[in-house]
Amino acid sequence: PSSARPSITAKLINGGVAGLVGVTCVFPIDLAKTRLQNQHGKDIYKGMIDCLMKTARAEGFLGMYRGAAVNLTLVTPEKAIKLAANDFFRQLLMEDGMQRNLKMEMLAGCGAGMCQVVVTCPMEMLKIQLQDAGRLAVHRQGSASAPPSRSYTTRSAPIHKRPSATRIAWELLHTQGLAGLYKGLGATLLRDIPFSIIYFPLFANLNNLGFNERTGKASFVHSFMSGCVAGSVAAVTVTPLDVLKTRIQTLKKGLGEDSYSGITDCARKIWTQEGPSALMKGAGCRALVIAPLFGIAQGVYFIGIGERILKCFE
């Protein structure tokens, strides 16, 4: 019954809590994904484990959390928009919002993916610059005679200064306006819309397989596994689009690394210079990041943290 379903406020709280917990748990793997996707060939990192070990040695434990503050700050509004939009479109397209039509579910997921980029695009834009800074530092050390890489703006920033999200955002806004923070918007949409189209219907159908009429929902383990499987499948499927987005949104380039004029130019250069396998860089990392994120999200929903918090204010 509809009365048994959590309110939109509870869903937003659950989404925010799940996002904060999830990001904290898997952020180092996400950092490895960004660095692997950005490097040309295997000149610095041979894989995820090698990347994490070298990062920990060179930058310390906290170095693996570069850019986490941006994610932790913006993940709650991102999840709130995604969940609220998905609920809104489900209600709009399926009257009572219940699972009835796969095509309508996919359209609802598409709508959610389009709405969330308002936060996702600038959040990932800033996060990527911070995550990739360590790789660029290693790249510069290996190419001592190389000229300085491109700056975030037309003015050269001192190389010794560690980049901060606030400084990067301010320089982009000052020199390029709001469009600077939304660089790669098309690539972000191209990734997030297919992801949501795949994830939301797949999870709903997988979770429905474990529906228990007595409790009115699937078991915790079933919901957790459904979230992990649906998240992994969606993440791996859209990895080529994520590679394009990461390359386009990376503002600083190392010696010999290409800059891209758009999605088509980026795809063409990666395909011809690095081969089609380069479009799947970081696929394993993405699966390891997304599966726990959505598994944790379903766990938070099952426990009903949002509902418990709301009860405290009644």
> Which of 245, 293, 235 lies closest to 266 in space, CA to CA?
245
Domains identified in the chain, total number: 1
Rg from Cα positions in the chain: 20
The answer to whether position 141 is within a domain reads: no
What pLDDT was estimated at residue 253?
A: 83
What pLDDT was estimated at residue 155?
A: 43
Cα three-residue angle 275-278-280, rounded to 5 degrees? 130
The answer to whether position 145 is within a domain reads: no
For residue 204, the domain's CATH number is 1.50.40.10
Helices and strands in the chain: count of H runs, count of E runs:
12, 2
E strand intervals along the chain: 211-212, 217-218
Contact 102, 91 (CB under 8 A): no
What pLDDT was estimated at residue 164?
A: 86
Amino acid code (one letter) for 179:
A
What pLDDT was estimated at residue 98?
A: 54
> What is the phi-psi region of residue 147: left when phi exceeds 0, alpha when psi lies from -120 to 50, beta otherwise?
beta
Residue spans of the chain under pLDDT 50:
1-4, 97, 99, 145-160
What pLDDT was estimated at residue 306?
A: 81
Place of tokens 């610095």: 44
As a whole number of angstroms, the distance between CA 66 and CA 304 comes to: 31
Domain ranges, residue 43 = 8-136+165-313
The answer to whether position 232 is within a domain reads: yes
- Is the pTM of the predicted complex or chain greater than 0.85? no
What pLDDT was estimated at residue 145?
A: 46
The answer to whether position 187 is within a domain reads: yes
The answer to whether position 149 is within a domain reads: no
Helix (H) or strand (E) holding 78: helix 68-94
- pLDDT digit string, tens, across residues 153-193: 434 444 446 678 899 999 999 999 999 999 999 999 999 89
